[in-house]
Amino acid sequence: MNTVSTDARSGGQILVDALKIHGTKTVYCVPGESFLPVLDALYHARQDIDLIVCRQEGGAANMAEAYGKITGEPGICFVTRGPGSTNASIAVHTARQDSTPLILFVGQIERSGMGREAWQEIDYRQMFGSIAKWADQVDSVDRLPEMISRAFSVATSGRPGPVVLALPEDMLSELSTVKDPVRYQRSFGAPTPQAIDQMLDLIAHAKKPLLILGGGGWTEQATIDITHFAETYNLPVICAFRRQDLIDNRHQNYIGEAGLGMNPKVTEKIGDSDLLIVLGARMGETSTISYTLLDIPNPKQTLIHIHNDPNELGHVYQATLGINSSPISFAAAVSKLPAPTSSNQQEEWVSAGRQHYLDYIEPLNTIGDINLGEIVSYLNTTIPEDSYITNGAGNYTLWVQRFFQFKKYKSQLAPTSGTMGYGLPAAIAAKIEHPDRLSICFAGDGCFLMNGQELATAVQYHANVIIIVINNGMYGSIRMHQERHYPGNVWGTQLINPNFVELAKSYGAYAELVKSTTDFPDAFERAKLAGRPALLELQTSDEILTPRLTVTDIRNAH
């Protein structure tokens, strides 16, 4: 052990002190013996940092990822080595694809045993190297302030994303007199005046422009600024997959989402456009229908691509004009532009897109007593505008994306990575961060059981979320593809489920089975007034695959 002065601190204490300096208010974890010095330091910091103890590392890390989405600050998660880190890796992947700031701290084996395949040993630089923005190990206690500061900067600057730092157990117990850091600062790219002028010239010559919004690194002010820009230049606005909360969906310029289950009229609009202004979005597989909407590498549309990360510009598509800028900087710059002097020739282009969107969100007739479209539409018109809507992955999400209108920035918490089990942890994180706001989780029966154990966390921390479980007794999205490619061969997609109502009650939550669409409003009110987490189960027909597709439809098409 090093010789130190009387004001020496353990590595765990140095780390927690640095977290406080960098603004951390909440830490999520599943405790492990590999980071006991950190837990002890968090005990002494309990007046400044809330510790949320979860039931599985996947749940804890998903909560931290959702916190990063909500606040724009890095979500902080601590897990133990080996199984703890592998469980948490799902959220690292989500944070990468969703451009969310996240820092995962992993307790590591002692330094003396490294390289021997000691108990639960993993090389985290290799394990996370391809999915994290930065993965490293802190081998010296004296470097903790430096590396933690770098972690915050990397996670938030440019294209936000995840950082993983391994913390050897003996390093956290070691003492040091190293100085604390100052609070980190994030860096932003910004558009040049020349780029703005070139963009305005392209807009002036376009007859069918589209503005597509997506990605991470936004703020509420940036969404206000970009909405003003869309109004000023009368641009129809499309949001990329699960980024529908970047503009009020009631706005006259909003015409829909480019994502799974895309409105065919949105597909047509993108194909017919002569100018695409893409801000923040990567235009990945989901938003381009498996890379078929835009020609690679040279789209037929004139493309203006604005992105935080210079490596993303030209990565797939060669833009006519590439601008390395954050959404914040770009939106602020274009919000100050004067209105165009020439007459507007695209009124019909915008209004037609808007009408197609309004037609698309009208609920459809369905099979059985539960009409999920009508239930989502009911929530759309009755719950407060700042309510959180969360979900994981599965065909049930298509009803949420289609029939709910997101009205406030950061009201949608959903993974672009298609992560099942995300919705409940995200709803809990949202409710803990903003206990005065409704937090509603939609989950399929398969999706809910991926992280259903976190209902215990919700009860423990009085996070009174409302969970709507859509139970059709199968993995619906896989069944849909199975019917398309192997019609009639139903295998590996059927589920035998627990009694979700009794399961939720066993955790201490309120729960009931909703048997019909007309019963839902009263049941939802009872859930809101329950004074504890609540679960409403909706049993739907296994014939229904999407809002507009049934098993019979697919079989008849063969």
Instruction: Determine the average pLDDT of the residues in 149-167.
Output: 97
pLDDT digits (tens, 9 = 90+) for 472-504: 999 999 999 999 999 889 999 999 999 999 999
193-359: CATH architecture: 3-Layer(aba) Sandwich (3.40)
Q: Please, what's the b/e burial string for 387-408 (b: 16 or more CB within 10 A of its CB; e: otherwise)?
A: bbbbbbbbbbbbbbbbbbbbbb
User: Angle 497-526-384 (CA atoms, 0-180°, nearest 5)?
Assistant: 105
State the pLDDT confidence band at 4, using cuts at 50, 70 and 90: very low
Q: Which three-class secondary structure state does DSSP give residue 341?
A: coil
The pTM of the full predicted model, rounded to 2 decimals, is 0.95
Q: Which DSSP category does 215 fall into?
A: S
**What per-residue confidence (pLDDT) applies to 344?**
60
Q: Confirm whether 9-174 and 193-359 share one CATH topology.
A: yes
Does the 9-174 domain belong in CATH 3.30.70.1450? no
Percent of the chain past pLDDT 70, that is, above it, reads: 98
Q: Which three-class secondary structure state does DSSP give residue 95?
A: helix
State the pLDDT confidence band at 79, using cuts at 50, 70 and 90: very high
Residue 288 has pLDDT above 90, yes or no: yes
**What per-residue confidence (pLDDT) applies to 3?**
38
pLDDT digits (tens, 9 = 90+) for 423-451: 999 999 999 999 999 999 999 999 999 99
Are 181 and 121 contacting, i.e. CB atoms less than 8 angstroms apart?
Answer: no
Residue 58 has pLDDT above 80, yes or no: yes
pLDDT digits (tens, 9 = 90+) for 258-278: 999 899 999 999 999 999 999
Instruction: Determine the average pLDDT of the residues in 195-218.
Output: 96
Residue 6 has pLDDT above 90, yes or no: no
**What per-residue confidence (pLDDT) applies to 5?**
42
- What CATH superfamily classification does 363-557 receive? Thiamin diphosphate (ThDP)-binding fold, Pyr/PP domains (3.40.50.970)
232: tokens are 């000023």
Are 184 and 156 contacting, i.e. CB atoms less than 8 angstroms apart?
Answer: yes
* Alpha-carbon distances, residue 74 vs 161, 231, 393 (angstroms): 9, 32, 23
Give the residue extent of every domain in the chain.
9-174, 193-359, 363-557
Are 125 and 137 contacting, i.e. CB atoms less than 8 angstroms apart?
Answer: yes
